[in-house]
Structure 1
């Protein structure tokens, strides 16, 4: 199975572990009810903002409220549900809200971040990321109807980026121009378009992308997060002027936030599970830690190293090996030319155990099962190699989804559960 198809097959949509809302007041949230009128002026106003509220809005009533959880519920064929902020009743004071998404785990993004608005897309917005669990933040992308006016930045699109500039933070005007009546209500952070700079427009050359990710730390870090923050700075108005006689028409409403990715396990895990209210890598290769970022105790025979995509397509697992606790006795040659038989221990049944079902013979060598090789049977053999597994093998630990035929790319297979969010509402900014 190709690297790209294996990777795609294993990517799962991340639903959000924890959601923190700062600056959101829902005391007068409006439900999705709007009145159709006959007159031309009223019809035009409705088209400009079809989500006008009536007097039945009440966040304290279950049937009329729009809590944050509605951004993450599964609707299927049911009517669209959405979170909605308070209206812009305090104009000209800015109507702002922060939406912070926290996983309490390092995540690698694999697809576009997509926000779906039901109110019209905001005229000013910033997407930020954190790599240290929300202690510090850095911008990911700016959004505005006028980038120069809002952020003193020249407007750009992701399609203007190159391999040399793909890490640049840009301001885009593509998602902020007025109301969208029927079709695209989304705001995106384009992950796949950035991947395409290395993998080609149809992502047909993922090996090239993996090679870059393996050798360029800044590139890996760019697609890695622990938290996301959506800063809503100015709601959609549909015009250049705010109608101060109808401020209830201005608000934020989001029906869906989609973030797709996988747990970061440094290519040392096949799965990521939800354990004790947090995502956890099921570390392999004798590694441990939240991201499998260190060797286990007594398995520090060499320095820890993350798994490598290279060489493509097998990669390198970089398994942590046991400490050699036995004395290293070098062979001595007598004057008669007879070699001393004292040799260093290669394996034993305590600290230098043969791995993957291997059997230690005389402390001198591990007899490895089919599918494995190496001093301690720690290296998987792949299809085509002597003793290697075939594509259908599921015996022992040698299988194409596990260690055998993909080297460390096996570790892209990280199961990420669909998680319901928890929300905290703070004071308005």
Structure 2
């Protein structure tokens, strides 16, 4: 029977192998997670939301300053409202007029946050910020994978790490999940157009298993938050101007913010579809799952495919969720870890609610008082037929072997139907647990009493 079980499992495995990603590469394409999600992007400070505000600009090598108005009460419009600097302006757009737009914080506010809230778990690749203002003197990037309930820091950024983040390592990372302070993307130069770049997985480190728990933790996100903690002021960069009031020139301004990522399919999908509408260029949320997996992120096995445990995909398809084998007598099953271990990893599926008088983990046996018709197959809905046993001489009033149909006789009873006493025994009675008595006088007395 073990050979038959292994053979059936092998056939199902070959069938499952046909359900593969193109070129066996289950890797969704990268895109900008910001696109189409302006309603899910928030900033703690934006100039001009409550009315016009003045701000002034002075280049790093410029003496003169130019002053302008910020009025973000209405959305940006190239033709009617170029002075609006709302946070949605940082999202990449195909509209050439949007190249003139940017987001800007209020004057003199050091602690400002920008947060993107995603509708499900995505895979984060890298972040690129392009500043119109000076880059922050200090900032950090955080991530959440439980919709903002808990947060983890990705990286600190500061020109002077010892000053702004004294307890954080400022040396190069020793491992892929080290939290360090990076000084390469801070400072006063350039005064505009400077970038901050963060990669989720540092290319310095070789990744042996892209689905290892450590890697999955680093790239799985439902929320990303930027925390700017210190403005780069002109007083920090131009000591000759220290007499001037810096307030109207101190603000954060971003031309562009790109968060590259993809839908997260746990190695079981290579493309995704929209959950509830979307726009061109948007990274959709719901995976098109392969390998008999299901869920927005292919995070579980499909119904009736619990013969093997779910696990992330990899270079091969050995971890696919395999279809349960209920021999056509059930359309529901569940995974049972104890059975999977007992069979040496061959089968862990347990069928529920077997029909057609069937029972067993795979509906492979007939129920009590039924047996397998030798002329019918295991998948035949009429394959189980009633036992033909004498209820007086067989156990439990008519029990037979589920495979052969041979009746299971009481101790002192024999015959295919368990309908006669063994030699030397007498008085076949249902009430007698042994079926017949060996004492003639006792058997005669019992007969008289009855």
Q: Whole-Å Cα distance in 1 between the matches of residues 31 and 152 of structure 2?
A: 25
Aligned to 1:220: 216
Pick closer, same or farther for the CA change 1:320–1:101 going to 2, 3 Å.
farther
Q: Aligned in 2, Cα 1:300/1:238: closer, same or farther, shift over 3 Å?
A: same
Aligned to 1:383: none
Cα offset for 1:254?
A: 0.7
Cα displacement (A) at 1:69: 1.3
Question: Which of residues 30, 43, 46 is equivalent to 2:59?
Answer: 46
- What is the match of residue 122 of structure 2? 107
- TM alignment of 1:191-206, pairs within 5 A: 191=200, 194-198=202-206
Match of 2:103 among 57, 60, 83: 83
SS across alignment from 1:122: coil
> Which of 131, 134, 138 is the aligned partner of 1:120?
134
Describe the shift of the 1:187–1:328 C-alpha distance in structure 2 as closer, same or farther (beyond 3 A): same
Superposed CA offset, 1:13-53 (max 9, x none): 3334353424213226779986xxxxxxxxxx533579955
Residue of structure 2 in register with 1:365 after alignment: none
- The TM-score, its normalising length taken from structure 2, stands at 0.58
Task: Check 1:25–1:67 CA distance in 2 against 1; reply closer, same or farther (3 A cut).
Answer: closer
Native 8 Å contact 2:292 2:320 kept in 1: no
1:58 aligned to which of 71, 93, 113 = 71
Indicate whether 1:161 and 2:158 are aligned: no
What is the deviation of 1:286?
2.9
Q: Could you say which residue in structure 2 is the equivalent of 1:134? A: 148
User: CA distance change for structure 1 residues 6 and 118 in 2, over 3 Å: closer, same or farther?
Assistant: farther
Deviation of 1:252 after TM superposition, in Å, equals 0.6
Aligned position for 1:356: none
Which residue is equivalent to 2:181? 171
1:21 equivalent among 42, 52, 56: 42
| Superposition pairs of residues 400-415 of structure 1, within 5 angstroms | none
Give, in whole Å, the separation in 1 of the partners of 2:259 and 2:56: 28
Q: Is the 8 A contact 1:131 1:225 kept in 2?
A: yes
Question: How much has 1:317 moved relative to structure 2?
Answer: 5.2
Give the TM-score, by structure 1 length: 0.60
Q: For 1:256 and 1:50, locate their aligned partners in 2 and report how far apart those are by CA, in whole Å.
A: 27
Question: Matched residues in 2 for 1:294 and 1:129: separation?
Answer: 24
State the Cα distance separating 1:86 from its structure 2 match: 0.9
Which residue is equivalent to 2:390?
A: none
Distance 2:62 2:378 in 1: 79
What is the 5 A alignment of 1:143-158? 143-153=157-167, 156=170
User: 1:327 corresponds to which residue?
Assistant: 363
The 1-side partners of 2:215 and 2:288 are apart by 25
Give 1:344 shift: 4.3
Which residue does the alignment assign to 2:248? 248
**2:276, 2:203 → 1: CA distance?**
34
After superposition, the C-alpha distances for 1:273-293 in whole angstroms (9 at most, x for unaligned) are 122157212223332222121
**Alpha-carbon deviations, 1:188-220, whole Å to 9, x = none?**
11346x13421xxxxxxxxxx3x3223x31122
CA–CA distance in 2 between the matches of 1:132 and 1:51? 48
Q: CA deviation at 1:243?
A: 5.9
Deviation at 1:55, TM superposition (A): 4.3
Does the CA contact (< 8 Å) of 1:30 and 1:84 recur in 2? no
**CA distance in structure 2 between the partners assigned to 1:137 and 1:32 by the alignment:** 34
The answer to whether 1:294 aligns with 2:300 is yes
3-state SS of 2:133 partner: coil
**In 2 relative to 1, CA 136–180 (structure 1 residues): closer, same or farther, beyond 3 Å?**
same
For the aligned residue pairs, the C-alpha RMSD in angstroms reads 3.6
Residues 10/75 of structure 1: CA separation in 2 closer, same or farther (3 Å cut): closer
* Match for residue 188 of structure 1 among 183, 197, 205: 197
Shift of 1:131: 0.8
The alpha-carbon deviation at position 228 of structure 1 amounts to: 0.3
Which runs of 5 or more structure 2 residues have no equivalent in the other structure?
1-21, 75-80, 278-283, 331-361, 367-373, 382-450
